[in-house]
Structure 1
Amino acid sequence: MKLDLENIPRRKNLSKEDFLREYFIPKKPVVIEDLTEDWDAKKKWNFEYFKAKAGEVIVPLYDGTPAKGRQSSHGAAMKVPFNEYIDILKKGPTDLRMFFFNLLQNCPELIKDFKYPDLGVKFFKKLPVLFVGGEGSKVVMHYDMDLANNFHFNFVGEKKVILYPPDQTGLLYKVPYSIVSMEVIDMDKPDFDKYPALAQAKGFETRLKHGDTLYIPSHWWHFIKYETACLSLTLRSLPKSPKKIAEVLNNLLFIRNYDNLMRKLRGQNWIDYKNRLAIKRTHRKAGIEE
């Protein structure tokens, strides 16, 4: 048994009009292979370049250990200078990851190395962010709390990405009061005996290499495995519809704060309760008897 995954289309010379008509408006993912051809980032961005440009910046690192008990679900495992983190990456496999490193705040001179693509999309230019991960590290299946349309540009290494559209949410063991699937599920090697509904979900996959751009539509679930140490840039386009804006506000103001409060009050009992409920709801949706 394996996941039901279709390859994400790969395109070159994709015009603004074709992107909007074929992918952005119908909310379908695509890998654009040549969007970064004339960027300095494609030529320059590697770990040594970032050592020179941002090596002294202190960065928070996160590992793959699920939060337990009363721990914050967003807590960093450690904080180190960027150049020390790069040295860790070069030593071999590690699950330490860095995400949402804001270039505008931390290293504004690097903004000149890329440009916002002319794809007919309005980008949120205050949040160009880097994502870096060690070989073998994985990002739990989730969708973004702000429901942004993401344009993910890969510059160092190779990563595997699995996507699911919002209509598959009921089969993905979504944890209540969160935007993640159960953290114990490894989408790279799922246990179908424990989580049989995953076999019914229909998704997409791709592998991103140097210079590739992946468009991830708003509210789409994504799982990432770093096949090698990777460095990527994400540019975001925020939702405009009143319905999505209301959902974003609910995610940010209620869901996240309520979950953190319940973690503090009930600790591991709250986490265990949510996981039991995730399994019960998913199996009911999939028609699986307990």
Structure 2
Amino acid sequence: MISLLNVVGDVNSSTFAEQIYPKRQPVILRGVNIGQCVDKWRSVNYLTTQGGEMPVKIHVSATPQMDFINKNFSYNHQLFLKKCWTESYYLRALGDDPRKDKADIHQQFPLLADDIKFPNFFPQEKFFSSVFRIASKGTQLWTHYDVMDNLLIQIVGRKRVILYSPADVDKMYLNGDKSEVLDIDNPDPAKFPKFLEAHRHEGILEPGDILFIPALWFHNVIYKEYGVAVNVFWKHLGDSFYDQRDIYGNKDHVPFSRAQQILDRALKTLEELPEDYRRFYGHRLISRIERKVLLKDKPP
């Protein structure tokens, strides 16, 4: 099943907070004032000049369909936009120290940051990061989810976006936070049969559009043209739910990480039993999780 993403205009902080945000559904916001970046950033020369001497790490691949699980790309370290690429490329700006600093366009690219205006859609104290991105025409990024809410601000070029609900998590064939289904338009039905049942939400981002991506929504993007964008991430939950060592916003929430460690120990303990017993008690654990977590025993 495929649904087109809703496109909503004339959105201000009140309408976003009252009518859009509580629904926890992705939506394209059109006509929001994001500053002069839409006009200025169309010039590669302007970006290069204003980008300064910030060193960046660029994903370079022989194929436009990038795969973060099997790493079908190499990393090229260079100064900002100092080379013209013949291969597919993707820049995801990092913090000053990629090991401990979060990306923030105001810190890494202050001259460019003057051109963009972030919508006042979330409390400033909940701000986590702002990530500057550039990619070549045709580049397709892997399907994944983030643990924080996200505004994808499309500035230059058109981008195709495909999203899947967290409710379809059992159909996504996850490896960590990433789907193993690389070709989402032509998935292998023998290898990924459940993926064909997932409900797809799809749309096209035009320059100046903003896509609201709620936390845990799977998303895949395809650059229809050379594109420039900025993601703004913020915390929807309290600080204690997030891993304090996370600088990318993609480490699972702390309670889940603890639960997964407990589950690993439980599975290790079950290995002490013969196979038939292990299978029997394994199904009992699955049934208990379904009743408690999925609320299947909740009265109508």
TM-based fold match above 0.5: yes
Letter in 2 for 1:96: Y
Alignment match, 1:218: 215
Letter in 1 for 2:137: E
Matched, 1:8 2:1: no
The alpha carbon displacement at 1:36 in A equals: 2.8
CA distance in 2, matches of 1:163, 1:152: 13
User: Which protein shows a greater Rg?
Assistant: 2
Helix, strand or coil at the partner of 1:98? strand
Letter in 2 for 1:118: N
Helix, strand or coil at the partner of 1:239? coil
CA distance in 2, matches of 1:193, 1:126: 40
Alignment match, 1:157: 157
Helix, strand or coil at the partner of 1:210? coil
Letter in 1 for 2:253: V
Matched, 1:28 2:25: yes
CA distance in 2, matches of 1:253, 1:57: 38
CA distance in 1, matches of 2:56, 2:256: 26
CA distance in 2, matches of 1:165, 1:10: 18
Q: Which runs of 4+ in 1 moved over 3 A?
A: 65-68, 73-76, 120-126, 241-247, 249-255
Aligned equivalent of 1:117, options 116, 119, 122 = 119
CA distance in 2, matches of 1:201, 1:42: 34
CA distance in 2, matches of 1:242, 1:10: 31
Moved more, 20-29 or 151-160: 20-29
Helix, strand or coil at the partner of 1:53? helix
Alignment match, 1:96: 89
Contact 2:51–2:111 under 8 Å retained in 1: no
Q: Deviations over 1:129-179 (max 9, x none)?
A: 1111111111111012xx11111111111111111111111011112xx10
The alpha carbon displacement at 1:253 in A equals: 10
| Larger RCO (alpha carbons 8 Å, 6+ apart) | 1
Aligned equivalent of 1:141, options 140, 143, 150 = 143
**Structure 2 matches for 1:57-72, cutoff 5 A?**
57-62=54-59, 63=61, 64-66=66-68
TM-score by length of 2: 0.70
* Aligned-pair Cα RMSD in Å: 2.9
Matched, 1:187 2:180: no
Q: What is the identity percentage for the equivalent residue pairs of Structure 1 and Structure 2?
A: 21
The alpha carbon displacement at 1:35 in A equals: 1.1
Helix, strand or coil at the partner of 1:240? coil
Q: Which has the higher helix share?
A: 1
Structure 2: state its 5+ residue gaps: 95-102, 244-251, 261-300
Contact 1:123–1:235 under 8 Å retained in 2: no
CA distance in 2, matches of 1:98, 1:48: 17
Helix, strand or coil at the partner of 1:128? strand
Contact 2:138–2:225 under 8 Å retained in 1: yes
